[in-house]
Amino acid sequence: DLIDHWSLLRDDERATVCERLKSGRSDDRWLQAVTLTRSEVPHAVVVTLLPEGIDLSQPPTRLIDMAPPSLIEAAIHVYCGRPQPLWWLGTHHSGEAVWEPVVEIIARRPDHPLFELALDHITYNGDGKRVAHIVGDLGTTNAERALGILLRLKVGCTGNFMPEAWATLLRLAADSDEHGRWLDRMAEAAPAILDDISDLRNWLSDDGDLRGMLDRLQNDFLPLEMAKIAFDPPDDVDAREMQDNMVKVLAFLVRERPPLLFGTCDRLLRWLERATVDTVELVTLLRERRAAIFAEREAIEQAMKQPDPPLDGWIDP
């Protein structure tokens, strides 16, 4: 607040602020980071905090490489609002003209300690084309790591499928075997990513990727296709006999090859409302499977969730 209202301060008050910013307390760098990430930073403050010859007008690479690393890292934490309480305090996303390009550079430096935080920030708005450019720049060397990060971020949010980014990433696979292994990992996380099999096209835009994922979601795709035939049969077919047989087959499939997506259970339950045969056992199986899928979603989310790093030197407000 003092920085934002710098013009209202007397000279002695401004001097007091600058002294406080370098007073030697453990939280100096956090106050400095908040100061440097305001929309307008007074020249006197910049001169006080940054090395000689460096200011906020520098190209982002020079700012990263020449300013004290601990200060740059604190500024990125503050700008991104991560971890808490930096978001709650409302200090984030100020000074975008300076710090967004800095975050872009760090998101392309996998050896930087804040690489994952920067990539997380870049994906926040779900701009798939922007993320695709970064993934492409990271290249094959870092593709496996990018896969893990994008999976973790996708599991942790609703929407933001970013099909452009996933298409770019999957093209970085060295060969068909690696591509298949990546799809296997994506399928394992699918219960926490997809509500319904129809969401798949929001996630994957390449036909080859789609076919590969559908192969891994046969436990969902097959029973839906079978139910569509059984519960919407042609006029000249004995619907009751077909449905009776199909209900038995679906019960077997749900027990032995359970679907991964809760939307599959919901769709089948809706189909069963139109049945003219006994569906009690299958309805029970589907409701139990649906509950189990939500438990699996939670387990996947918890397994991928990363604990917030401590804010070294932070003094709680």
- Using omega within 30 degrees of 0 as the cis cutoff, is the peptide bond preceding 83 cis? yes
Global confidence as pTM:
0.90
Give 90-147 pLDDT, tens digit per residue.
999 999 999 999 999 999 999 999 999 999 999 988 999 999 999 999 999 999 999 9
Span 236-246, average pLDDT:
78
For residue range 246-271, list pLDDT tens digits in order.
889 999 999 999 999 999 999 999 98
The amino acid that residue 140 corresponds to is T
Give tens-digit pLDDT for 181-210.
999 999 999 999 999 999 999 999 999 999
pLDDT tens for each residue of 285-297: 999 999 999 999 9
Q: Average pLDDT, whole number, for the chain?
A: 93
Of 4, 102, 109, 9, the C-alpha closest to 61 is: 102
Number of H-type helices and E-type strands within the chain: 17, 0
Which pLDDT score is estimated for 92? 94
At 157, which amino acid appears? Answer: C
> What span, in angstroms and rounded, lies between the C-alpha atoms of 80 and 82?
5
Query: What are the boundaries of each domain within the chain?
Result: 6-207, 218-304
